[in-house]
Amino acid sequence: MAHEADHAPSTAPRADLARAADCEVCRGWGTVVTDDGRHELCPACQTGGSSAESATNPPGPRTREQ
- Segments forming the whole domain that contains residue 50: 17-56
The answer on pLDDT for 5 being more than 80 is no
Indicate the number of domains in the chain: 1
Per-position DSSP letters for the chain, written without gaps between them: ---PPPPPSS-PPPP-HHHHTT-TTTTTSSEEE-TTS-EEE-TTTS-SHHHHHHHHSPP-------
Q: Comparing 32 with 66, which gets the higher pLDDT?
A: 32
Is residue 45 in some structural domain? yes
Is residue 3 in some structural domain? no
Say how far apart CA 56 and CA 1 lie, in whole Å: 35
Maximal CA-CA distance, the chain: 49
pLDDT digits (tens, 9 = 90+) for 6-59: 666 667 678 999 999 999 999 999 999 999 999 999 999 998 654 444 444 444
Is residue 30 in some structural domain? yes
Is residue 29 in some structural domain? yes
Is residue 11 in some structural domain? no
Is residue 61 in some structural domain? no
The one-letter amino acid code at 55 reads A
The answer on pLDDT for 2 being more than 90 is no
